[in-house]
A and B are shown apart, each in its own frame.
Chain A
């Protein structure tokens, strides 16, 4: 028993290619060219899922992106799972595996459905907020179960095996939509020689022409489509993108297109191909030819499987050769929907009746239906569908549209398919992404794009042009206009001839009245989120009158379909309920993306090791070979510690610290920012941006500087050396390098452009190897012949040029450890060779490589700050006990001085940097821990500071820390307490932040 609903002939499918697929474990067959939805319908599968709240059985109602119910889980393996795929947008391929995303134990027999039946009336909008409010502590428990009961698909538990790409595109004209309007526009623009991109979300170009009854030049419309596509393919400046949804319209004609290159081939892309591509397009002009969605009518039980959009019926019959039933009842308020009945009739199927809400319809299509003997009931509509798991009949009654009343008991017509059409809603989404609200038009009963500053043109259905001849002419004209504005000569061409029809006006009917009113069977407005007409009316009665509030309170338009079929009906019902017009109600905001985009497409290639750029020093390979554990400092990989066999971080750090203090250690300091500063005003510039004085720094000397912002707070620090009278070499923190360079440029370019000074980043050009420890001089002397390392010849805080290991070098005698230290700078490309020679010469001194952890520990033992660790943007130099570094009498009001002199910066009791010594030397104060003076005070406690740096493993042999305490500098010897989350309290003594070698003698030897 297969494909019992497949018509014997017809459709744009290849009946010679049979494709097997499974749905909910059962195997079915379809044809190449089918959508998954078409193939399911061909096999008579009607229930595809259960609704979100009431767990009602749901079926396929549309044929395109607007489908709210056929949301399926696709994937034949764990790694290839894709949740929430619209079956109407998924091309069928051999071996496709699909399942419903909800329904337990299965969609046909769902337990939750009983709850929906029984509890439905007790689950009005706001149900979750109202019911699960108390006790508040239980919300997280409730949430888990609500989520389980109401969920959609699931994410895969294995890595995605496919690749995804980004592509930047520039074009003169981007055309969104390749239906009749878009194709015409593309033809016009492309013929002018403009660079054109034409994108359409469907598997092939053509849009409504793929299933229309209309002819062009007397021939099937698809023939014209083929001819146009062929011509476009021949033009070199044209890029054609089928299976590509333009999903976001961003500023300045920047749009994103999500192209699905291989979703129609299998659940994995073929080897060597990417699965999806995101095109980032900058367009000179945009032509929006997105068309319009048909609206369903809202009536009782309109969600039972077997209720469909009229246009979808035509699509399934003509495009896929599928009849979703045998006996059709059509309910409509317009002429266009009559096509569904005519298509159904021409396929040899029975049209039971057409219920037309209008009083006396006499349009061309109406007359054609009459001529075919189809029964038409005027001033009527389907007021409710019969059946529970599938439509068994339709109750059609006379209605008064104006009075919103049912005026006859009506009759129940036996049928298994009810098609409805309430009119058409232009697809205004992209036009509204940048905030421009759409405008209501009474003549078409729909919203059209409003005015916008973007350089765009609307053509066809998107602005209410619906008659095919008009659509094509409009498209052509729009294409000419876009190309002309983009600077090309575009001319008109001959347009295909269409058959003129007399189409009459639509009557404004959104919700069909019911004799029982809101007590009648549920009338669904948003099927994906189970929002009913009664629910919307209730929301307005409860005071939610703004369309944005109605949306959020009822969940109207919340789902993955973003209310494509429900929103206009919903706001029309809300407007009527409040007593205002539809334009007064307005629409909710439209935001990208128009349809869901997979995470893979968003990530592109930026995953795994390409997620973020990583920076390596010239010595990285050596670190890796020598077992370094790394930490991220900004984007840099820096050795954190070098564990030997069997060591954990504490053991390694203790060993490294001891080696540095006892003999000599080696640190790769290449990542610190280095800025070359030159110019006659360089010195004066330094005076203005540093807290201390630079006027008297001689050539060959180096000085530590603090950089503050205008508020007086420290934001970076580093040593700057004088290379020449007009030449300085500044270092910054690793993470602050780019920030500092931008800061210098900001002031130079915008405040002091008259100063002659230039800045160049040289961070990557120099590698820096720091030798630190009492034996560092001996070690370095083995590597240089031309640098006099004698204590008096090469004093502390100076630098020298010479050769190290045969390579030109600058050597700086700076110390961050408090030990005798030399920082050897060589051109980065030479660094590895120099390093190897240093390692060789260092063997006799037990030269020990150390990482950032040991670096942090050793500087902390000396009370040296690390900006960003001990500072947080709220500490000025005085707070850091670094008043020695502040030149309050410098002639220019340097950046930070005025800030430091604000009242709040001069008050007593500011948090000040001190040392903290746990009373129990084995206890470690967690970094960030809050400090109090009295641990027994009631909660909330008065917090007087926090721990900024804390180290258990070090060279001192006891746990110590740095922190800030209110008035700390005057509280030496006092106790502070750090209450912990587990209730314990760590007691510490406030001490000097210099724990080791307080006189600073060791760096000066």
Chain B
């Protein structure tokens, strides 16, 4: 049950008040007609699946009904920051090391 800081409401609220809307910072191409079918397909369907830092869009549907961005670690589910639409993340995968590997490498952990 994530605890998410809504940057519009200015407080931490429970995950139940929000709706996740997928990867953030995917801008709609300004000239769709100039996109090939493949490029348009990439815009519509292809998304990153990182093990670690992920920037995603959330909507405070049961609150202020505003969208905002979240930087979340997909392994630990730690939320590193939330920021408004149009702003840039302070924490990125390049700037920060990915989450630490687990401390016990059992036989089941070959992946």
A→B interface (CB under 8 Å): 250-254, 280, 282, 434-440, 450-451, 453, 545-549, 580, 583-588, 710-711, 742, 745-746, 749-751, 753, 893, 897-899, 902-903
Contact = CB atoms under 8 A, between A and B. Distances in A.
B27 A902 contact: no
25 contacts: A251-B2, A251-B3, A282-B14, A437-B104, A440-B104, A453-B78, A545-B107, A546-B106, A546-B107, A547-B108, A584-B105, A584-B107, A586-B105, A586-B106, A742-B19, A745-B59, A745-B65, A751-B28, A753-B86, A893-B31, A893-B32, A893-B33, A897-B32, A898-B33, A899-B44
B97 interface: no
A750 B85 contact: yes
A742 B106 contact: no
Nearest to B67: A749
A434 B61 CA distance: 26
Nearest to A545: B107
Contacts of B75: 435
B3 A254 contact: yes
Contacts of A251: 1-3, 15, 77
A898 B35 contact: yes
Nearest to A256: B1
A546 B108 contact: yes
B80 to A, nearest CB: 10
A438 B106 CA distance: 10
A747 to B, nearest CB: 8
Contacts of A438: 104
Interface string B75-90: 1111100000110000
B99 to A, nearest CB: 8
Nearest 7 interchain pairs by C-beta: A586-B106, A898-B32, A254-B1, A252-B3, A546-B108, A893-B32, A437-B104
B40 A451 contact: no
A742 B59 contact: yes
Interface of B: 1-3, 14-15, 19, 21, 27-28, 31-33, 35, 37, 40-41, 43-44, 57, 59, 61, 65-67, 75-79, 85-86, 100, 102-110
A742 B37 CA distance: 27
B108 A745 contact: no
A565 B27 CA distance: 54
A435 B77 CA distance: 11
Nearest to A574: B107
Contacts of A742: 19, 59, 61
Contacts of B40: 710, 898-899, 902
Contacts of B100: 451
B106 A450 contact: no
A744 B26 CA distance: 17
A250 B21 CA distance: 22
Contacts of A903: 37
Given A254-B1, A753-B85, A437 B31 contact: no
A281 to B, nearest CB: 10
A576 B103 CA distance: 21
A213 to B, nearest CB: 35
Nearest to A741: B65
Contact of B106 (A280, A585, A746, A897): A585
A223 to B, nearest CB: 40
Contacts of B65: 745
B103 A439 contact: yes
A252 B103 contact: no
A745 B106 contact: no
A903 B1 CA distance: 43
A1 B3 CA distance: 59
A487 to B, nearest CB: 15
Contacts of A898: 32-33, 35, 40
A451 B99 CA distance: 12
Nearest to B33: A893
B104 A450 contact: yes
B107 A580 contact: yes
A750 B76 CA distance: 27
Nearest to A436: B102
Nearest to A580: B107
Contacts of B41: 902
